[in-house]
Amino acid sequence: MREGLNDSWEGKFGDNPVFWEHLDGRVIKPEILAHPGDWATAIESFYQTGVTLALTGQMAQFHSTVVQRLKVREDLVEREWKKCVEGIFLPILPPPPPPLTGHNGYVNAVAFSWDGTKIVSGSGDNNVRVWDALTGKVQTVLEGHSGAAMSVVFSPDGNHIISGSGDRTVRVWSALTGRAEKAFEGHTGCVRSVNFSQDGTQILSGSDDKTV
């Protein structure tokens, strides 16, 4: 892997070279992306706050391969890789968010609110939990199902949550207070899928009883 003319980069994977611009990541010869071999089919370099490398292909082959050295201009970064190419290299990454803990059973379903500020989860502990997507803290615990909560979703306006359960019911909850507002019965099997219509006026459910 080396720097070529006109600030371009050259790498060789399989039997063919790959060329790309280091400033915008544009592949100079896109037709070579179809080259054969078990190694990655492409590598792209992007000049952002540092260097980002995006690798695609069979990662298992990379883990058995030593990439001896990646060196770029002094105004970028210099990095050595030894026997480990994880797929995407970012020089500055935020720490991963902490896991959301609290359920006492398998988490069967999760969904974001439409504005992305909340998360709802349904679990084998029969409970539905509402979380703050930014802080990861539990806002509300929705209790009432007598079977595992298998499916959950927010209404388009974010004010309600519906859940489908192994107790064969579909429940409507207030996303603000956590109070159960309605329980729909009729399915004779586990309710595995629920959703709102786009305008929020209708509810759709799918069950193991093969009905919707």
Structural domain includes residue 131: yes
Is 212 a member of any domain? no
Residue at which a domain ends, from 59, 89, 119: 89
State the Cα angle at 36 between 30 and 38, rounded to 5°: 115
pTM of the model: 0.55
The reply to whether 55 falls in a domain is yes
Which one is predicted more confidently, 59 or 133? 133
At 94 the pLDDT is 64
Q: Does residue 182 carry a pLDDT above 50? A: yes
User: How high is the pLDDT of residue 205?
Assistant: 93
> Tell me, what CATH number does 115's domain have?
2.40.10.480
What is the domain count for the chain? 2
pLDDT confidence bin for 130, thresholds 50/70/90: very high
Q: What is the mean pLDDT of residues 36-52?
A: 38
Whether 101 is covered by a domain: the verdict is: no
114 and 203 in a single domain? The answer is yes
| Claim to verify: residue 129 and residue 175 sit in the same structural domain | yes
